[in-house]
Structure 1
Amino acid sequence: MKAALLKSYGGVDQFIVDEVPTPKPEAGEVLIKIEASAVNPFDLILRQGFMAQFIPLELPAVLGGDAAGTIAALGAGVTRLAVGDRVVGDFPANGKGAHAEYGTLPTSSVAKLPANLSFEQGASLVKAGLTGRQTVDALGVKSGDRVLISGALGMVGRAAIQYLQEIGAKPVAGVRAERLETARALTGEAIDITEQPAEATFDFAISTAPAVVGNLVGHVRDSGQVASIVQIPEGVNVDNRVTIHELRHRTDVDTLNAVLKAASEGALIIPIAKVFPLSEVGAAQSAVAVGVQGKVVLKH
């Protein structure tokens, strides 16, 4: 099979597309013929070697965490899925990722893709949809609660906002001044997150933008809660006056099924900015690096 291989840590010139053996599913796993995979900001961090101390990759490595395709083969004991099923998969960052023609996953990382969603849409939903929901769930938000979200027009921010709307909460977008109008179209209410507030008015906030973590925490009342997918710098939360939940994406098939259901019903939309062929994985990563407004997807 063809795969986009990262030969060495470094720039996008370190990618080559080459033939590698097609993996075989072990017990409890499925083999997916991958039709589309998403390029996430974390893939750029892996490619540059910034996580090598914590997530060492055996090079050449295959990146890519989000995939959509069809089941091509079943490992022993698999009964929930069948050959030919349209699915999405949540791949780990282990160098055996989704930027390839085929990939294997345990069934606990695979969910059926609704018929009215394309493979490109499916691939765009996995980690953004999971992470967005997990930030909201960490806060225990209820219907009617008002929640501030920084990085609201990013993919995790959008997923969190639309989940908040789904459960009847009131999301408030925290964005730069020049993006207020766009953010209001998504949430109905938006504020300039680059400005420090005169008074904290939120009990709940979700942090997805590293540059404005301090400002976001400043908007939260004493004893409020922040769910953050970015590291909170020292000195931001003086005297631990707010509770901070630092989160990382977690694979969960039940939540993934809920994400896909919401998307199939129109309650969750993750825009796709650009689609590249698998052979142009370097160009796709470069597009993510310059900050396109939407998901970047590889079509296999």
Structure 2
Amino acid sequence: MKAVLLKAYGDADQFEIADIPTPQPGPGEVLIKIEASAINPFDLILRQGYMVQYIPLPLPAILGSDAAGTIAALGEGVTGFAVGERVVADFAHNGKAAHAEYGVVDASSVAKLPANLSFEQGASIVKAGLTGRQSVDALWLKAGDRVLVSGALGSVGRAAIQHLKAIDAVPVAGVRAERLDEGCRLAGDAIDITVAPTSAAFDYAISAAGPVAANLIANVRDGGTVASIVPVPEGANDDGRVTIHELYHRTDAAMLDAVLAVASRGELVIPIAQTLPLTKIAAAHRAVAGGAPGKIVLKH
């Protein structure tokens, strides 16, 4: 099969297209013929070797954790799926991931793709949908709670705002000044998150944009709570005046089913900025690094 291999840690030129053997599913696994995969910002961090201490990749490695396609084969003991079904999969960061014609993944990380969603839409939603929901869940909210969401117009932010609305919380989009109108249309209310506040007005916040993380924390009252998927800036909470839950997504097939269901109803839309062929993965990484206004998806 064709696969994109990361030869060595470094820039996007370290990718090469190669022919390698098609993997076979073991017990509890499924083989997926991958039709589309998405690029996440974390893929760029992995590629550059910044996580090598925590996630050492077996080079040459296959990246790509969000994918959609059809089931090609079932491993021993797998139930609930059939060959030919359309699915999405949450691949692990293990160097044997989704930027290839086929991929093997644990069946517990697979969910069925609704008929009215394309493979590209399915691939764009996996980790963003899970992370957005899990960020909301970490706050233990009740109906009516106001929640500031930075990075609100990004993939995770959009998923978080959808889930906040679903549980009757009140989202407020933290966006740049020129996108206030867009933030209001999405969340119902918005503030300029690039400006440090003169007073704190929120009990809860979700931090999904690194460059403004300090401003977001400053918007939270003493004793408030922040769910953060980005690093906490040095000095932003040295006095511990707010509680910060630092999060990284966890795979959850049942939650992924729920995310796909709301997407199929049109309640969650993750914009796709560009779709490129798998062979253009270097350009895809550069587009993400350049701040593409939406997901970059690879068509296999």
User: How does 1:39-78 map onto structure 2 within 5 Å?
Assistant: 39-78=39-78
User: How does 1:1-300 map onto structure 2 within 5 Å?
Assistant: 1-300=1-300
Which amino acid in 2 is paired with 1:216? Answer: L
For the residues of structure 2 that align with 1:280 and 1:214, how far apart are their CA atoms? 35
For the residues of structure 1 that align with 2:43 and 2:114, how far apart are their CA atoms? 26
Q: For 2:59, what is the secondary structure of its paired residue?
A: coil
Moved over 4 A (4+): none
Query: So what's the TM-score if we normalise by structure 2?
Result: 0.98
**Runs of 5+ unmatched residues, structure 2:** none
For the residues of structure 1 that align with 2:283 and 2:213, how far apart are their CA atoms? 30
For the residues of structure 2 that align with 1:53 and 1:199, how far apart are their CA atoms? 39
For the residues of structure 2 that align with 1:196 and 1:34, how far apart are their CA atoms? 44
For the residues of structure 2 that align with 1:214 and 1:17, how far apart are their CA atoms? 40
Which amino acid in 2 is paired with 1:220? Answer: V
Which amino acid in 2 is paired with 1:56? Answer: P
For the residues of structure 2 that align with 1:209 and 1:279, how far apart are their CA atoms? 29
With over 3 angstroms needed to count, the CA separation of the structure-2 counterparts of 1:232 and 1:122, relative to structure 1, is: same
For the residues of structure 1 that align with 2:165 and 2:240, how far apart are their CA atoms? 29
- How far the C-alpha of 1:92 sits from its partner, in A, is 0.8
For the residues of structure 2 that align with 1:48 and 1:238, how far apart are their CA atoms? 29
For the residues of structure 2 that align with 1:142 and 1:113, how far apart are their CA atoms? 30
Q: For 1:32, what is the secondary structure of its paired residue?
A: strand
Of stretches 156-165 and 194-203 in structure 1, the one that deviates more from structure 2 is 194-203
RMSD across aligned positions (CA): 1.0
**Runs of 5+ unmatched residues, structure 1:** none
- How far the C-alpha of 1:118 sits from its partner, in A, is 0.5
Which amino acid in 1 is paired with 2:181? Answer: E
- How far the C-alpha of 1:254 sits from its partner, in A, is 1.1
- How far the C-alpha of 1:178 sits from its partner, in A, is 1.8
Which amino acid in 1 is paired with 2:102? Answer: Y
Q: For 1:240, what is the secondary structure of its paired residue?
A: coil
Preserved CA contact (<8 Å) 1:166 1:267: no
Q: For 1:139, what is the secondary structure of its paired residue?
A: coil
- How far the C-alpha of 1:165 sits from its partner, in A, is 1.5
With over 3 angstroms needed to count, the CA separation of the structure-2 counterparts of 1:255 and 1:18, relative to structure 1, is: same
- How far the C-alpha of 1:6 sits from its partner, in A, is 0.9
Query: So what's the TM-score if we normalise by structure 1?
Result: 0.98
For the residues of structure 1 that align with 2:34 and 2:76, how far apart are their CA atoms? 21
For the residues of structure 2 that align with 1:270 and 1:142, how far apart are their CA atoms? 26
For the residues of structure 2 that align with 1:193 and 1:78, how far apart are their CA atoms? 47
For the residues of structure 2 that align with 1:283 and 1:197, how far apart are their CA atoms? 38
Of stretches 7-16 and 22-31 in structure 1, the one that deviates more from structure 2 is 7-16
- How far the C-alpha of 1:63 sits from its partner, in A, is 0.4
Over residues 236-276 of structure 1, what are the superposed CA-to-partner deviations in whole Å (9 max), with x where a residue is unaligned? 12431111111001111111111111101111110111000
For the residues of structure 2 that align with 1:11 and 1:238, how far apart are their CA atoms? 34
Which amino acid in 1 is paired with 2:229? Answer: I
- How far the C-alpha of 1:4 sits from its partner, in A, is 0.7
For the residues of structure 1 that align with 2:112 and 2:261, how far apart are their CA atoms? 10
Preserved CA contact (<8 Å) 1:63 1:96: yes
Q: For 2:121, what is the secondary structure of its paired residue?
A: helix
Preserved CA contact (<8 Å) 1:163 1:268: no
Which amino acid in 2 is paired with 1:224? Answer: G
Preserved CA contact (<8 Å) 1:224 1:243: yes
Question: How many positions carry a matched residue from both structures?
Answer: 300
For the residues of structure 1 that align with 2:122 and 2:288, how far apart are their CA atoms? 18
Q: For 1:123, what is the secondary structure of its paired residue?
A: helix
Which amino acid in 2 is paired with 1:185? Answer: R
Which amino acid in 2 is paired with 1:65? Answer: S
